[in-house]
Amino acid sequence: MTTLLYDGSFDGLLTTIFEVFEYRYKDVEIVSREKFHQENIFADIHEVITQNDKAERVLNKLEKNIGKPGIHELLKVYLSEDPEAEQLILSAVKQSVKYGDENILQNYADPDILKISKINKSVSRERHRMTAFVRFEKMQDDVFFAKIDPDFNVLPLIRKHFKDRYQDQKWMIYDLRRNYGLLYDLESCDFFYPDEKIDLKKYEEKFHDQEKNYQTLWQRYFTKTNIVERKNLKLHIQHVPKRYWKYLTEKW
């Protein structure tokens, strides 16, 4: 068994997969350095240095074999943060190289491909919910701020949606769990990585007065329009699971 350690990035993972083929490794495990705990002192460790040219060659091969939609599926597996993500992606790449067929990701008889499909459905569902349930709060500097805590790392998948939808205002979306976010300044939409987790209490102190008034009005509206006799909590939770309530002003 050879353990390949990489930097945790998608380009790093593609570089690692390239080197699996380059050095003709057979029995391997791919682990990010952050998650690596060496239990076997005799294990064969291979340190991978991310190289864009190697990552690009893997991408080009994948685009030829499984197309851009297939690459997008593998990206969602990576963003799922599933413990087996690296091995699943490696398995898919090996099959695409072996068969050179765009339909390999539909071969659900293969357990790895079946799991890739299931992960994609879960990540896609989470992406959809994030686009639906994100709530922005206006700050004193006129920037609209939203906090999220998704089950999967879907921030890269919702970037285009919010950039296209909110082009006329400055906004930030911050992932509480992963301590990074998106910032749109009317010109560019880039990721940002704070040195420390954002102190949400301090942010609440910077709410714009209009935001405080808006939240109060919205909560009153929700209370007034909520017909108790027609309340169906089971159906409500089915459409809006409880873990998303923390994003909704009307639930505070």
What's the mean pLDDT in 129-153? 87
| Token pair for 56 | 């690009």
**What does the alpha-carbon distance between residue 180 and residue 111 come to, in Å, rounded to a whole number?**
33
**What does the alpha-carbon distance between residue 217 and residue 109 come to, in Å, rounded to a whole number?**
54
Share of the chain above pLDDT 70, in %: 78
Q: Residues 177, 149: contact at Cβ < 8 Å?
A: yes
DSSP 131-173: HHH---EEBTTS-EEEEE--SS--HHHHHHHHHHH--SS-EEE
**What does the alpha-carbon distance between residue 35 and residue 18 come to, in Å, rounded to a whole number?**
21
Torsion angle (degrees, nearest 10) of CA 39, 42, 44, 45: 50
Q: Residues 85, 77: contact at Cβ < 8 Å?
A: yes
**What does the alpha-carbon distance between residue 222 and residue 57 come to, in Å, rounded to a whole number?**
53
* Interior angle at CA 73, CA 36 and CA 175, nearest 5: 60
What per-residue confidence (pLDDT) applies to 205? 62
Between the CA of residue 147 and those of 59, 122, 134, 202, 245, what are the distances in Å?
32, 21, 8, 14, 12
Q: Is the pLDDT of residue 78 over 80?
A: yes
Between the CA of residue 59 and those of 82, 117, 203, 215, what are the distances in Å?
21, 20, 40, 46
What per-residue confidence (pLDDT) applies to 227? 45
DSSP run (H or E) holding 121: helix 111-133
Poorest-pLDDT segment among 118-132, 162-176, 187-201, 224-238: 224-238
Poorest-pLDDT segment among 86-90, 157-161, 212-216: 212-216
What per-residue confidence (pLDDT) applies to 208? 52
Averaged confidence pLDDT in the chain: 83
Over the stretch 206-244, which tens digit does the pLDDT of each residue have? 565 554 554 453 444 345 445 444 444 454 344 445 654
Q: Tell me the three state secondary structure of residue 49.
A: coil
Q: Residues 30, 13: contact at Cβ < 8 Å?
A: yes
What per-residue confidence (pLDDT) applies to 242? 61
Which of the pair, 37 or 147, is modelled with greater confidence? 147
What per-residue confidence (pLDDT) applies to 236? 39
**What does the alpha-carbon distance between residue 33 and residue 244 come to, in Å, rounded to a whole number?**
32
End-to-end CA distance of the chain: 51
Q: What is the pTM of this model?
A: 0.81
Which of the pair, 31 or 42, is modelled with greater confidence? 31
pLDDT band at residue 98, thresholds of 50, 70 and 90?
very high
